[in-house]
Amino acid sequence: MSLNLNQPLFREKLTVQKPDNPRVPFANWVQFNNPPRPAPQDEREVVTGILTHEKRPRKRGRKPANGQEEPLNHVKAERQRREKVNQIFYALLAVVPNISKMDKASLLGNAITYITDLQKKLKEMESERNGPNNC
Amino acid sequence: MSLNLNQPLFREKLTVQKPDNPRVPFANWVQFNNPPRPAPQDEREVVTGILTHEKRPRKRGRKPANGQEEPLNHVKAERQRREKVNQIFYALLAVVPNISKMDKASLLGNAITYITDLQKKLKEMESERNGPNNC
DNA sequence: GGGCACACGTGAATC
DNA sequence: TGATTCACGTGTGCC
What is the per-residue pLDDT across A72-123, written as a single tens digit (0 to 9) for each?
A: 899 999 999 999 999 999 999 999 998 999 999 999 999 999 999 999 999 9
Mean pLDDT of A47-64: 34
- The rounded distance, in Å, linking the Cα atoms of A111 and A99 is 8
Would an 8 Å CB–CB cutoff place B130 in contact with chain A?
A: no
pLDDT over 90 at A132, yes or no:
no
Least confident of A55-59, A67-71, B82-86, B90-94: A55-59
Decide if pLDDT at A31 tops 70.
no
Query: Span A4-25, mean pLDDT?
Result: 38
Instruction: Give the nucleotide nearest to A81 (CA→C1').
Output: C5
Q: How far is the CA of A45 from the C1' of D11 (A)?
A: 19
CB-CB neighbors (< 8 A) of B57 in chain A? 19
Three-class secondary structure of residue A123 per DSSP? helix
In terms of Cα–Cα distance, which of B23, B21, B18 is closest to B7? B23
At residue B51, the 3 state secondary structure works out as: strand
Q: Give the confidence band of A15 by pLDDT, cuts at 50, 70, 90.
A: very low
- Which nucleotide lies at the shortest CA–C1' distance from A15? C12
If you measure CA to CA, which chain B residue comes closest to A119? Answer: B118
The pLDDT value recorded for residue B11 is 58
With cut-offs at 50, 70 and 90, classify the pLDDT of residue A11. low
> What pLDDT is stored for residue A134 in this prediction?
52
Compute the mean pLDDT over every residue in chain A, rounded to the nearest whole number: 62
Between A and B, how many residue pairs show a Cβ–Cβ distance under 8 A?
A: 114
Q: How many residues belong to chain B?
A: 135
Strands B49-51 and A49-51: antiparallel
The Å distance, CA of A112 to C1' of C6, is 22
Nearest CB partner across the interface for B118, out of A45, A85, A118: A118
Look at B105 and A119 and tell me if their CB atoms are within 8 Å: no
Q: Which nucleotides of C are covered by protein (CB under 7 A)?
A: 3-15
Position A38 confidence tier, pLDDT thresholds 50, 70, 90: very low
pLDDT at position A118: 95
Give the 3-state secondary structure of residue B49. strand
Residue B25 to residue B111: CA distance in whole angstroms: 21
Q: DSSP assignment, residue B46? A: -
A60 CB within 8 Å of a chain B CB: no
Cβ-based neighbour number of residue B75 at 10 Å = 13
Of residues B111 and A66, more confidently modeled: B111
Instruction: Give pLDDT, residue A97.
Output: 93
- Nearest residue in chain A measured CA to CA from B122: A122
pTM of the complete model: 0.66
Q: Give strand pairing partners of B50.
A: A50
DSSP B130: S
Q: Which residues of chain B have pLDDT under 50?
A: 1-8, 13-68
Highest mean pLDDT among A7-16, A51-60, B13-22, B73-82: B73-82
